[in-house]
Chain A
Amino acid sequence: MPTDWGSLLIQLFSGLSRAMMLFLVSSGLSLIFGVMNILNFAHATLWLLGGYITFSIYTLLAGYYGVSILLLAPAVVAATLALFAIGWAIERTLVRRMYGRELPEQLLLTFALILIIGDLIRLFWGVQNLRIVLPIEPMPVLGSFVNPYLFFIIAVGLIVAGLLWWFLARTRTGKIVRAAVYSRDMVSALGIRIPNIYALVFALGVAIAAFSAGVFLPIIPIGLGMDMDLIVQCFAVVVIGGFGSIVGTFVASLLVGIVYSFSILIWPDGALAIIFVILVAVLIWRPWGLFGTEMRF
């Protein structure tokens, strides 16, 4: 086991960046569940789709203008918007027909989406892993080298987390969304069109996930099957943090991300196992999560 400070630091940064991705994906998952009571099994699959779309747009642009990190920005923005539209459409055509249905049926609908979207990805992009290679100079930190892109990811993650918090806490629409977590009746009593709020929350959640997939492309190659690894970890995050709680999701993301990246150092095969142990402990000790309220359980 390496014990020098440099490699520990690298592990810390890698854990933090991982935590950011977990947060960006899980916050949407948590919000969708909190507002609509729908557990979106396909959330990470839509994340994956966002990554593939980002890749294609970037590759297209890079073909014209050459390899550059700047081209990633328009690609990510376009993919985020595309997934916002796809999320909106999915909520409008499929998910909304599940409100009030029994839980297993809701789960099955989003489970079917995993299969469908997964195969569509295979149809369009094939089975090989895809990755964007950017010419980034590693940065020396305490005798080891760190990819400075990690800092960028952590910063972007924090900014988006801040924006999300601002949206939920300070804007009128955000306040309505938060109110919907606690009482649907109250929101419709205020004369607000619930269906639009639902579609917005679903689309927003999916778009943030797609955004994170795009931003991560330069350091993590994407491939089929990654969605299942991620969704299981996101379930862990959301359960540990408490469904519907953004603060809880943030703290749990940090916990899971950092635990994951340090356990790789100690016991490479056991990283997920350790997270599951935390998950099981939380589920048994506080099933409503660290920051959730017991009422909603």
Chain B
Amino acid sequence: MKNQQQRGITRRDLIKRAGTVSAALGLFPAVTRFARAQTTPKASEVVIGKDPRLIVHNSKTGVMETPLEILREHEITPKQFLYIRNNQVLNGGKTNEPIPLAGWPVEIVGMVLRPAHFDAAALEDLTQYEVKMVLQCSGNGRSFFAKYGAKAKGTQWGHGGMGQTVWKGPKLKDVLAHFKVEPHAAAQFLTVNGRDLPPATGGRPDFEHSLPWSNDPETDWIGRDVTENAILAIEMNGEPIPAVHGGPVRLIVPGYYGTMNVKWVGQIRFEARESYNYNQVFRYRVPLYPVEPGQYDKKKQGYENSRPNWHQKVKAVVFAPLDGEQVKAGTVKFWGVAWNDGVQPVEQVLVSKDQGKTWVSAKISAPDSPYAWYKWEVYLPMSAGEHEVWVRAIDRWGRAQPLDGVVDWNPSGYEWNGADRIKVKVG
């Protein structure tokens, strides 16, 4: 029988030691007063290898946003700063460390002539393609729906749910050819499921997404990007993909919203219809027609009256000055980035300091990849006082950012692309 001395630490000890620790740090509010307050951990405590300055939205799965003053400092967003939106967690996956390719099984099944089951290490032996692209959460900018008049439910992202990334791996079509998979002519969708699992609270549908597949990319614009350009990425920014960003294997479709770039790929299914998975039917979709802000429930959405968050909408974001920043009167340089789905080039970035009455064309530098950020800059004479500056991008097809983004309000606040508006104090 053990007595307290043998156990080495007594209750009194524990109380005493606790007291010493608190005294040493000496910073305790009465915890009980804030009983229902939460201590949100820092990004670096949530995911190993992340910078503590990232804004944590949810520590349970690891959802975090990059402040613009960090984002704008890098041409390629380094892994310690890149945003994360995880619906589910891969066991042991909350880290920037990689997971080995060997031993990671992948299967390609469904409407195919020959299903393939292979080890991810086989992907290294195929011809590698590299693509620089904007990775953006489809909820990025959701908080602006609320700011400009109609709240949309969900994580209230600012602009920092995005980053510029470089992915490398074999093209999906080459993988199909290598394993002689041959999708059926009637296959129209690709449903991708990662090896992450829903929390074991029970009942929650496992996360997966469907993307359009085209057997005839010459004529089918919607499915062409996936058929022609999708890669099974095994590297991000020149290194094995960090576990938290979907390594060892992530489906990458340049130009598509982040959510469709499924992480931790375990299964690819060719199908005649979109998955009826909850995450495909009720989430990550927007209505095809305008709906009344705040009055439309996402459960009214179905295949016929809504579409998934596939192609990214054209968008410009101001990187400097930042909203609310103080600048000196005189000539002020405004700069930022613009991008779209890469299908057509971004042709114009227009800037207004009089609520859209007149516009100035910014100078644009095209990137070396159609899916990457276009840098834009413009010098405007600014007089003392408070000013609001608006910025909008337009591409070759005339796809433009609406001046009032709320016109595209949708129940879950996806795909915000209203003209960016920033307030500057000129002194």
| Genuine A/B complex | no
User: Which residues in B have some Cβ–Cβ distance to A below 8 Å?
Assistant: none
